[in-house]
Copies of this chain bind each other. A is one copy, B any other.
Amino acid sequence: MSLRSVKPQHETRTRILDAAEELFMLHGFEGTSMRQLTAKAGVNLAAVNYHFGSKDALIEAVFRRRLDPMNAARIAALDELEAAGRPPGPDTIIRAFVGEGLRMIEDVKSGGRNFIRLLGRTYTEPAKPIRVLIGQLYAPAMARYKAAFERALPQMPRDELVWRMHFMFGTLAYTLAATDTVQLIAGCKPEDRYDARLLEERLTAFLAAGLTAPLKTVVRKAA
């Protein structure tokens, strides 16, 4: 037992997780069959049930593998910000949150990009158990960032802040998930979408402006 050779210890598990990540992103959960999935992974049909127990358990494992480290990194980034200069501004907090997501998109080799796009799609997944799981995995990071925003924007009412955070997560999720709409509005090379540096600038500018928008908007008619 001790000092075991650990080499391909869980190679089959990893192959399954990688294939699942990509196929779920392409065809959804119900649209991906175990036969497609195991064929792509190059493993036996029964391997998923042997290693994970069921298809649902596999879905959960796909999310846990990526989401736990990513949100831990988000919390760590916030810790670092708050340890340095006193209170980080809203745009700095936004950049920390968005940056960790985009970091994973650049990580093409290990499939992080597949996962990020899958994640964006899953925010609006109809199936309830999946959303509940996502909620649980996000909750700690969510609470920390909410507190950080409250500190950075003390004058903003709590319910208004909640809504604006909601809008922000929506923008992020959609940006990562919806490849097609931007091409629908104007011709745009898909490659351009993942110049992560530029995208981070654009997203942060947009979100920071929205988050700190004037509070009592007086509706004024044109001219």
Seen from chain A, the residues whose Cβ lies within 8 Å of a Cβ on chain B are 24-28, 30-31, 81, 84-89, 92, 120-121, 123-127, 131, 135, 138-139, 142, 146, 158-160, 162-167, 169-175, 177-178, 180-182, 184-186, 188, 201-214, 217, 219, 221-223
Contact = CB atoms under 8 A, between A and B. Distances in A.
Contact of A174 (B87, B158, B173, B217): B173
A211 B28 CA distance: 32
Main secondary structure of the interface of A (DSSP, over half): helix
B171 A139 contact: no
Given A121-B126, A126-B28, A180-B131, A163 B217 contact: no
B217 A213 contact: no
Given A167-B175, A174-B174, A223 B85 contact: yes
A163 B202 contact: yes
A53 to B, nearest CB: 21
Contact of A124 (B27, B121, B209): B121
Q: Lowest 3 CB-CB distances: which A-B pairs, in order?
A: A170-B174, A209-B213, A28-B126
A181 B209 contact: no
Contacts of A185: 142, 146, 162, 165-166
B30 A31 contact: yes
Given A124-B177, A166-B185, 12 more contacts: A28-B30, A88-B222, A124-B173, A131-B180, A158-B186, A162-B188, A167-B175, A171-B171, A201-B219, A205-B213, A206-B210, A208-B213
A84 B222 CA distance: 9
Contact of A170 (B170, B213, B217): B170
